[in-house]
Homo-oligomer: A and B are copies of this chain.
C-alpha cells in the first residue's frame, strides 16, 4: 500500500480539494502507472454532483489517464518501466461472460469495474480515478499510447475518443459515406475527426451557426444548422449514419428524417428520456436508433493505433489541478474547446 496525492469531492455539494488515497501494491498481473495527464469528462461532474444517484464519496474522478509505467508484476510481459500507457473508463471486468469473451468488457454481464466509483475488488470500498499521482491497474486494462502523438492531448481519447470511434467502427462507416455528427462538444469534435479520417463526407449538425468555422477546421465538409428547416429539408433522407453526441434528452425526430432508408442514428450521450419518437419515422424507411457505450479494451487499442497512424488527438486546454473547480463550472457552460486536461505536475509539486 502506498499513499498518493489526489483531489476528491467529499460530498455532492463540496468542491474538489486535496485528498490522500491508498493505492494497492502491485500483484503479479498489475501495472503501476505514474500519471502525467488526466482529462476532465462531463461524467466526472455528474458523479461528483451525484446526478446519477450512484456516487460514493469521497469521489476521486478521472478516467482519461495517460502516464508512464513505473513498475510491473511478474506476469506482465507486454509492458515495461517507462512505457507510455493509457487507462480509460474501466480497470477490470469478469472476463468470463459472453461480452468479455467477445472483447466487449464495457457490456460485462456481471458489471465492469469502472475506473472510479465502482466496487474495488482488491481493497474493498470503491475505486478512485485519475485525479491522482499514480494508479495500479490490471495489465488487461492498460493500453499502449503511440509515442508519436502530442502526449498532452492524448488523454481524452480514452473516453471521448473511444465513445465516438466505437460506433463509427461498429456500424462500418467507410470512405464516401455521408456521416452526420450531431452536437459539437468534447464528443462531437472527436466524432468529426474520426469520421473524416475514415474517409466519410462529414456534416456537422448543430443548432449554433457560430460553430461552423471550428467544425470545418476540425474536418467537417459541411455544416447543417438544425434549426433551419430549409436546410434540414435539403438533407432529408440522405445520411448513411448519424452520430448523436447530444448529452441530454431532446427531440430526435428531425434527425431521424435525415437518415437514408436502412440507416442508423447512434446515441452516445443522452442517457435520459428522449422526447417522444414517432414510430412512423422509423417504419416508413426501415430506419434504426441505437445506443453505444465507450468501447472494449481491444477496440480502444485499435482506436489509439488509428490515432497514431492518422495523428489524431483531442483539442485540449491544459489546466493545473488547483483550477479544477473553475474548469467544472466552465464545462457546465460548454465553455471549453474541447476538453480540459489536467497536467499532473501541478498535483505532484503541490
Instruction: Name A's B-contacting residues (CB within 8 A).
Output: 99, 104, 107, 109, 170, 237, 249, 261, 264, 267-293
Contact = CB atoms under 8 A, between A and B. Distances in A.
Given A170-B286, A286-B290, 5 more contacts: A99-B261, A107-B284, A267-B279, A282-B289, A286-B293
A290 B291 contact: no
B261 A107 contact: yes
Contacts of A99: 261
A287 B264 CA distance: 12
B261 A276 contact: no
A274 B289 CA distance: 13
A290 B287 contact: yes
Given A282-B290, A283-B267, A273 B274 contact: no
5 contacts: A271-B283, A273-B277, A282-B289, A283-B291, A286-B293
Q: Which 6 A-B pairs have the closest CB atoms?
A: A282-B291, A283-B291, A270-B279, A273-B276, A271-B280, A288-B290
Contact of A284 (B280, B285, B293): B293
A170 B104 CA distance: 25
B291 A281 contact: yes
Given A107-B285, A261-B104, A286-B107, A277 B277 contact: yes
How many copies of this chain does one complex carry?
2
Given A261-B99, A293-B286, A279 B249 contact: yes
A213 B125 CA distance: 50
Contacts of A278: 271-274
Nearest to A250: B279
A10 B272 CA distance: 46
Contacts of A282: 267, 289-291
Contact of A287 (B269, B272, B276, B291): B291
A191 to B, nearest CB: 15
Nearest to A253: B273
A274 B271 contact: no
Contact of A283 (B261, B279, B286, B293): B293
Contacts of A109: 237
A276 B250 CA distance: 10
Contacts of A269: 279
Nearest to A268: B283
Contacts of A274: 276-279
Contacts of A277: 273-274, 277, 289
A274 to B, nearest CB: 5
Contacts of A261: 99, 104, 107
Contact of A272 (B279, B288, B293): B279
A273, A277, A279, A292: residue with the most chain B Cβ atoms closer than 10 Å: A279
A273 to B, nearest CB: 4
